[in-house]
Structures are given as C-alpha cells and as structure tokens.
A and B are shown apart, each in its own frame.
Chain A
Amino acid sequence: MAKLELSGVKKSYGSTDVLKGIDLTVEDGEFVAFVGPSGCGKSTLLRLICGLDEISEGTMAIDGHIVNDVPPSKRGIAMVFQSYALYPHMSVADNMGYALRLAGTPNGEIRQRVQAAARILRLDAYLDRKPRQLSGGQRQRVAIGRAIVREPKVFLFDEPLSNLDAALRVDMRIEIARMKERLGTTMVYVTHDQVEAMTLADKIVVLNAGKVEQIGSPLELYNKPGNRFVAGFIGSPKMNFLKLGKGCGNGSYAVAGGSVTLPVFAHAPVEIGIRPEHLTLAERGKNTLSGVVAMTEHLGSDTYAYVALNGAEETVVARIPGEKTFRPRQEVGVEVDASVIHAFAADGTAITSSGNARVAA
C-alpha cells in the first residue's frame, strides 16, 4: 500500500533532456497507465520510479518519504520488464525466489510464497522448468510472478504484453485485471495499447516529449481531451481534425467539403475535432460535408468509411454500425454532430463551448 508523489522530476542524459519536469501523484491502490508516442520518456519515467536510474532534478516520495537516494530493492517496488528479463539459467521457482533469497528470507518461506504466486498465475506445473522451455505467455507470467512474490507496495509494468500475440494479450489483460482486484496494490503500467490503458487504468497519464499532456480517468480523456495532442492520441480510429476557414457569421465556418455551424465558444477556434462515431453518412443537409468514399474497412460489427472531403487531401473516417458497402469513389455526405465536437485554439488547447448550439443559419 503506497502513494507515489513525483514533483518537478527531470531527467537528462548529458545535454539531452528526456523528462522535462513531471508532477504526478499516484494514490494508494490506484492503477495508473502511462501512454504516449514512442520515445516520449515512458520507460525512463518508470525506471526513475523503480530507482534504476537517478533523478536529475526534483523529488520522488513514497508515502511521504523522499526516496531519491534509496536503492531499488529498498523502495518496496517491483518491476516487470518488457523483455521479461528472466534469468535464463535458473528454474522458474528460482527466478521467482531470487529476490527473497537475496533478502535472506528462510527457505521454507520462499518456497511457500513462490508456490502461492505460482498458484495465482497457474504456473504450478512449471516450477522446475527453465525459461527457455516455456511459451511466451508462460514467460510473461513468470515475470509477473517474480514481482508478486516480493509483495511490493508498488508494481511497475513496462509494456508487459507487447511481445505477446493478440489472443494471448487479451488473456493476460484479463489476468492483470484480476490481479489488480485481488492484490489492490498501487500499479503503474506503461503501454502502447489504447485498449489496455482504457480498460485497466483508473487514471491515464498522457506523456509527450518528456512532459505530461493530461492526467485523467479514461473517459475524461476520451470525452474532454485538454488539447489537440491528447484528442488525437486517445481513441481508435483517431479523431478527425478539420481546419476552420473563414467564419461567415452566425457561427458558421467554411471547412473542407462545405461548412459547419458551431456552438458559441469563449475564443474563436481554429480547428475542430470529431470522433469517428460522431460522423454519420447522410444525404445533403445541415452541417453536412460532401466527399467521396476512398476506402472502407469492415470489422463485422462496425464499418470504417474513409471519406475524402472535397478540396482536402486527407480523409476523415466515419465509424458506422453494421456492414455497409459503398461503390468505389461513391459520393456521400458526411454529417457532423455539432453538439459533440471538440474545438481547439491556435496553440492546440481545447476550448469549451460557452453556450448552447446556435440555430443554424
């Protein structure tokens, strides 16, 4: 049980600043996911929390005690690495018991705790095997087991499922969700996978270029992204962005393929974002843009229609329920639901609407 507090944490390697001041609180028992593009510093931040690398500036505290100079093993933190990092010459049992052995735990107790962890992870039958005799999923479970036996105050996971195939990944995701229920320990989880972050996390931290872009619950980030970066990063398929052209008064703006009428905003937006599920393919009408279908993807339950709006190079994607087929380059109208759009200022920050949707001109 532990609360993590990072304030003003910076990390630089030589002259390159990798983390540029991170403020973050992870509450006791919370499951926090770090997401962000490759190279944004997720692993680096996790290594700082673990104590594998030194913090260049700022402080990190566990339960109110500053631990900047405390070695990893004394922090009560266990880390699961992306590559599993199992000790290849040791049996599964020895891998899991290594930390306890180093800590001088009596043999009987080590055996007990290893067996308990093995039961949770359904590894009982493999305790005598070497890592190379295990499948990818089993190796991943051993890596998690190695963390569990230490009974840490905080678990750190660095993309633990990224080496697994899709089916196994779903299984392991459920396994981790169960583990979270069962142990109730504070967990920090780095992932590239939207679904993992959305389904597992209580709180998501979006990182970009060494800075925190936004912190919030999965739905908060999805429904109220604080800026254009978060809006584009969270959600799959990605949010559609439309540059706003000249305003024609009455809240109406020219955009590619036609014009849209927007609610009143505190400042004038320069760009709007619309989630794929908020676009519908419709006949000509209010707030409807025209274009041609460039491509469709059928997912069974949904269809993604990529529409090239007239006068624009990029396509917008609409997510429509069911199976729907289009002729190649079929002309369609794309209706924008103006009540659920996101608007952004020139610097990328989100602008909240200050009134109700205006009646269309």
Chain B
Amino acid sequence: MFDLSSRQAKTIFCVALAFIGFFLFFPIYWLVISSIKGNTELYRAVPTPVPLAPTLEHFVKALTAGKLPMYLGNSLIVSGASACLVTILALYAGYSFAKYRYAGRQPVMLFMLSAQMFPFGLLLISLYPMMSNLGLLDTRLGLILSYIVFAMPVSTYMLYSYFSQVPDELIDAARADGASDLRIFHTIVLPISVPPVVTVFLYSFMWSWNDLLYSMTLIVSDDKRTIGPGLLLTYLNEVNSDWGGAMAASLLASAPIVIAFMFLQRYFIQGVTAGAIK
C-alpha cells in the first residue's frame, strides 16, 4: 500500500509541511520584520524581505507614548484572575467527576461540556443581561466572571482525564493513613498534578488574553480596557497610519503568552507520578 518511508511519501510530507509552515509562520515573520523597519522603509512600494536598517523606535514609542502599558496591565489582571478562577473550579469539578460516584455525574459533566458547543457570541447574548442585572457591566469582576465560559468546560475535562489516571490505590493508601477526602486532594493529589494544572492555567489564560468580543462588549471605560480592544481601537481605524507601531504593539501583546509557554513547557512533558506505582 502506502509505504511511509518511501521517497515519494517523504516528498509529500515535506511539501505539506512547508505549505502549512508558510501559512503559520509567514504572517508572524512579516509582523516581526515590519515592527523593526523604520517608517521610510516600511512604506516602500516593493517591501524588503529583510529589514535594511533595523530599529526599535516603534517599540519605544508603543511603550512610552500610548496607553499600551495600561491595556497590558488590565489584561494581565483580568486574564490572570479568570485563569486562577477557572483552574480552581476545574480542579474540584474534575476531581469530583473522576473519583466519586454519584447520581447524575455523567449528565452534569456532559451538560458542562455542551457549553463548548455554542458560539461564544451566543453565550454573550445571555451573559450581557445577567451582568447588567448584577450591576457588573463595565467592571473587571464582570469580565473575569464572563471569561469562565471560554475555558471552563475543556479545563474541567482535561483535569478529569488526568485525575482518572491517578491510581485509586494511592488515594486508598492515604485514606487508610487517616487523611480526609479534602486532605487527600490537597496533600497527595494536587502536588502530583502540577503539569496539568499549569497546562489548564495557561490554556484559560490564553483564551481570555486573546479575547476581543467580550471585552469590547462588556467594558466601556477606556481605563479598564484590555489589550485586544485596546489594540484594535488604537491602530485599526480610518485615521491611523502607524503600521510600525501596530506591529510592535501586537508583538508586545503576544509576548506574555509566548514567554509563559517557553518557561512552563517542561511541565507539559514531565511525568511527576513516576515512582508511585511499581
């Protein structure tokens, strides 16, 4: 049939990879080079593939002149808080689904996961009046709470699958040693769950950080605005011509996520449970 190690197969794979790689990375490459070109070079009719005279002027300007630092700060607060909230809620929910048997366990879990099937915009339609009634429109708290809908279902499910694999004997051993259920969770299960917890935290952080729609709708005051709408309103309008600034600001906006991934990626691969069993 189809031999995966044949020359033909390898060629097909390489071409496919190059194709995918181009669409994934070319926009990022363009973003990077555009952000370090001076304005004269940036507006040439035929763009240069490699910057002739790299400069950091756009970055300096974005960080000092505009409101970018404020937007970044707002995003950090809102995304951080909502990621913490999602992680904590998903931890207990996932553990309960994985390790306890009670009536309605499966339906409740499916019901929660089904939230993921609706477009977020649709959920916003019902969230908006809710927030309005609670007086949480145009507040950070309102936004933090709304962000839970993005990542909560999948986070719960991810932790559920992880906890399902924590050996029951480990929990039984702790129980026989005299630990209460909460104690077992906090002193035995949580410490060996650092990788999935980090993953879930980053995952939910990323969702809120990348959000545009909710923040745009629920936040009106400029001083509470997050980075997504902030970038949009600053750079994407009829009068703006500061493309270099837009590129630099976009890079700065994606930096936290990229850096976080770089530092925390080892947790994704590390197996902390080694040595518990056998």
A134 contacts B275, CB within 8 Å? yes
B178's contact among A72, A82, A89, A136, by CB below 8 Å, is which? A72
B178 contacts A86, CB within 8 Å? no
Given the contacts A102-B179, A102-B183, A131-B275, A87 and B167 also touching, CB distance less than 8 Å: no
B192 contacts A89, CB within 8 Å? yes
What does the 1/0 interface line of A266-291 toward B look like (CB < 8 Å)? 00000000000000000000000000
* B141 interface residue per 8 A CB criterion: no
* B175 interface residue per 8 A CB criterion: yes
Determine the chain B residues whose CB is within 8 A of the CB of A77 once the complex forms. Answer: 176
Name B160-177 residues within 8 Å CB distance of A.
167, 169-170, 172-177
* B276 interface residue per 8 A CB criterion: yes
Determine the chain B residues whose CB is within 8 A of the CB of A98 once the complex forms. Answer: 174, 177, 179
Name A124-178 residues within 8 Å CB distance of B.
130-134, 136, 139, 146, 150, 163
Q: A164 — nearest CB in chain B belongs to which residue?
A: B278
Q: A136 — nearest CB in chain B belongs to which residue?
A: B278
B272 contacts A88, CB within 8 Å? yes
Determine the chain B residues whose CB is within 8 A of the CB of A132 once the complex forms. Answer: 274-275
Give A103 to B180 CA distance when docked, in angstroms: 11
Name A57-88 residues within 8 Å CB distance of B.
71-74, 77-79, 81-88
Query: Shortest CB–CB separation between residue A153 and chain B, in angstroms?
Result: 14
Query: Shortest CB–CB separation between residue A190 and chain B, in angstroms?
Result: 13
Determine the chain A residues whose CB is within 8 A of the CB of B188 once the complex forms. Answer: 87
Determine the chain A residues whose CB is within 8 A of the CB of B172 once the complex forms. Answer: 47, 52, 79, 81, 85
A73 contacts B176, CB within 8 Å? yes
Query: Shortest CB–CB separation between residue A145 and chain B, in angstroms?
Result: 13
Give A47 to B173 CA distance when docked, in angstroms: 11
Give A89 to B277 CA distance when docked, in angstroms: 12
* A110 interface residue per 8 A CB criterion: no
Q: Which has the most chain B C-beta neighbours within 10 Å: A71, A78, A98?
A: A98
B278 contacts A84, CB within 8 Å? yes
What does the 1/0 interface line of B79-115 toward A look like (CB < 8 Å)? 0000000000000000000000000000000000000
Please report the total number of A residues contacting B with Cβ < 8 Å.
34
Query: Shortest CB–CB separation between residue A302 and chain B, in angstroms?
Result: 33
* B55 interface residue per 8 A CB criterion: no
Query: Shortest CB–CB separation between residue B58 and chain A, in angstroms?
Result: 46
Determine the chain B residues whose CB is within 8 A of the CB of A79 once the complex forms. Answer: 172-173, 176
Give A85 to B172 CA distance when docked, in angstroms: 9
* A99 interface residue per 8 A CB criterion: yes
Name B244-278 residues within 8 Å CB distance of A.
272-278
Give A131 to B167 CA distance when docked, in angstroms: 15
A85's contact among B170, B179, B183, by CB below 8 Å, is which? B170
B275 contacts A82, CB within 8 Å? no
A87 contacts B274, CB within 8 Å? no
B169 contacts A131, CB within 8 Å? no
Determine the chain A residues whose CB is within 8 A of the CB of B275 once the complex forms. Answer: 86, 88, 130-134, 139
Query: Shortest CB–CB separation between residue B9 and chain A, in angstroms?
Result: 40
B169 contacts A85, CB within 8 Å? yes
Given the contacts A87-B170, A102-B183, A52 and B278 also touching, CB distance less than 8 Å: no
Give A134 to B276 CA distance when docked, in angstroms: 11
Query: Shortest CB–CB separation between residue B181 and chain A, in angstroms?
Result: 11
Query: Shortest CB–CB separation between residue A293 and chain B, in angstroms?
Result: 41
* A18 interface residue per 8 A CB criterion: no
Give A85 to B278 CA distance when docked, in angstroms: 8
B176 contacts A72, CB within 8 Å? yes
A73's contact among B178, B276, B277, B278, by CB below 8 Å, is which? B178
A84's contact among B175, B192, B277, by CB below 8 Å, is which? B277
* B191 interface residue per 8 A CB criterion: yes
Query: Shortest CB–CB separation between residue A114 and chain B, in angstroms?
Result: 13
Query: Shortest CB–CB separation between residue B48 and chain A, in angstroms?
Result: 54
Given the contacts A52-B172, A79-B173, A82-B169, A88 and B274 also touching, CB distance less than 8 Å: yes
What does the 1/0 interface line of A28-52 toward B look like (CB < 8 Å)? 0000000000000000000100111
Give A87 to B183 CA distance when docked, in angstroms: 13
A89's contact among B167, B169, B191, by CB below 8 Å, is which? B191
Give A134 to B172 CA distance when docked, in angstroms: 22
Name B127-180 residues within 8 Å CB distance of A.
167, 169-170, 172-179
9 A-B pairs in the complex with CB atoms less than 8 angstroms apart: A47-B172, A72-B175, A72-B176, A84-B276, A85-B172, A89-B192, A132-B275, A136-B278, A146-B173
4 closest A-B pairs by beta carbon, nearest first, are: A132-B275, A73-B178, A131-B275, A99-B177
